[in-house]
Chain A
């Protein structure tokens, strides 16, 4: 059972991707920790953290691709799940500070002392234990997605209506978390973390470990996504994407399939958020901003929708471009980024991976005039009319 599951998940391309990912997971921390700083191949800690952040974004993009690329649910609110996972982790990290906060209160985080709170709110209990926080990282986004999806899919809210109410969801959460009365630190969010599982978050080794953890999480989630999309379930999902009503008339309980993949996707986004927070050192309501969710969708579109690998590449590429542009042309980088989005839509409508695979397919078809169908054509084909 397990082997067949894995076997299904791993074809040539996926294996290649996972191999590359493993190489990066091993090589980057090694080059960072083992080589002296003046060695030409040394990877500075700055770069490790940065790449770690890209990997968590890639995981978020992967989760968006799973629902959008394979099930046609365009979520403009996935950053909400990402941020909730991040907050769960952030709360754990806050509790770990203990008496090292500026006020030295053993129980209350600094911002609560600051606002004269005298007791810890009930929802902060348990977050001093890592296992509990880790569970919440999965449960909170998962549960929210389940409840939201339960109602939305049963009511057959679809297409752009669904997109907009996911946006309303993340916007409402954004406003809610901004409120200082909520007890999550308001606009400042949670910050000034000291250590995670007893290790100093600022230490090079911890950073390298977090980087590796992000890579491993990405790899595992990739395998899961791959397994889902290549299973019978995955075929139904694609059917739902391409013709929801027909699939329903064929006797499939469309909403169950949708709900399942939606919840899984939200949990993945939660994991991404949880790994993101210790690496960037802050979580605040800004992560809920609707623009962030839209950006995540754009990463997927740039990389290639419905390809999984494309989502990862898109996320890394766009964010790398952002990092580079904001430093290289601080005054004009929005032109470059905006131009990139327009360019990709007009000239690479299937995203980078989709276009590359298509061309590859053409070339190889020309080479061996005989029919040798390349890898995964069904998944790279975008829906004819995904909004409706």
Chain B
């Protein structure tokens, strides 16, 4: 008897919460924020949630969008990948949001992709990633490999005269792909097989003694050596601590990282790391008035003068403004209309230039190489002369070099094969 009662109560509770959301159709435009606030990724993603809340607040101060106020809907997918899919569905179906800003890891993006496709909504993905993807409902505002990795390697080769390469990464898809691309690229540039060392470590690896010692050994072959690090966020702090203590100086063996930004350095004493590099599309130190204003707003919003800004925040800044512009252009938040109107939308980025949304749903960005400073900031030491368009399909990978993406009509295809002239991948 009691069991029935419990069951009934449970069912009722389920029903009310699930139906409850649908009725709340008020006069606001809802924006979903899908970033982990707990679990392993909270370290990186919580900041992005705050950044989105700030952007939405700022937009509302400017009068909102289409005469309506924006309303943020925050959920916590808790660094649990299937939960990302569930929460995405909840945002779109139950909360009725018009666009979602979120995800960090590749796997979380992969997990929500089918949901956005099925329910035809919009996702703005703000993190640098491995590429090899272009989906109708997703806008990739972070860097593709050609907007980060390749320019960084070029810099080391040309400016630092590096001849020997350690490609060290966490064992997941982003480092795997980036290293594949880099390996192919380096070999094309004439680097010999024995001058490339590839090393993978598990997530959250914290004992770097052996690897740092291996790097030292590898670096003592009389050729200028550099480390290209795709080590994932959390493992970087112990890695850099070991590096600093082992006395590997940037002038001798520089480390260029693609996943280390201001936020990661906040947990480190950067004094011994001065000169190690990172490649991004934005640094907090960017010398542009729009950036100083952004930082001031950020500090005012968080009430913390020490909070840093970083590249994925800029990506959200660009993505959000693009969405706002596209909605204004289309006069509606309807996803199909926005998908059509957003291509070609150009908005200011925080480094003093402009970024445009391209037909392959990636954006144009400047590429900056920065050196770590003793105050935990990066100093830009090199940047591309113009903007680099994001390449959804790498030219250096066998399976994807013939593929392009173009979501304009009439092509409307994310994996068009230029050889076979068909939409749908590299085979047949």
Contacts and interface: CB of A to CB of B under 8 A. Distances in A.
Interface string B57-78: 0000000000000000011111
A188 B427 contact: no
A219 B353 CA distance: 62
A186 B176 contact: yes
Given A46-B18, A180-B173, A327-B75, A191 B93 contact: no
Contacts of A316: 10
Contacts of B161: none
Contacts of B118: 202
A113 B14 contact: no
A245 interface: no
B86 A50 contact: yes
B188 interface: no
A6 interface: no
B90 A356 contact: no
Given A46-B18, A46-B93, A320-B13, 9 more contacts: A24-B11, A44-B18, A104-B415, A114-B173, A188-B173, A282-B111, A324-B17, A327-B87, A356-B2
Contact of B115 (A186, A281, A287, A357): A281
Given A99-B425, A284-B107, A330-B74, A16 B3 contact: yes
A106 interface: yes
Contacts, number: 183
Contact of B399 (A40, A116, A281, A282): A116
| Secondary structure call for the B interface | helix
A286 interface: yes
B113 to A, nearest CB: 6
| Secondary structure call for the A interface | helix
A128 interface: no
A300 B417 CA distance: 52
B407 to A, nearest CB: 14
Contacts of A103: 399-400, 403, 415, 425-427
Contacts of B85: 280-282
A334 interface: yes
5 nearest A-B pairs in the assembled complex, by CB-CB distance: A104-B425, A330-B76, A187-B172, A280-B82, A113-B399
Nearest to A190: B110
Contact of B110 (A51, A115, A282): A282
Contacts of B38: 333-334
A104 B427 contact: yes
Nearest to B130: A114
A17 B3 contact: yes
Nearest to B79: A286
A91 B225 CA distance: 41
B399 A114 contact: yes
B428 interface: yes
A102 B117 CA distance: 14
B311 interface: no
Nearest to A118: B398
Interface string A314-327: 00110010011011
B168 to A, nearest CB: 15
A316 B14 CA distance: 10
A81 interface: no
B95 to A, nearest CB: 8
A186 B173 contact: yes
Given A50-B86, A280-B86, A191 B425 contact: no
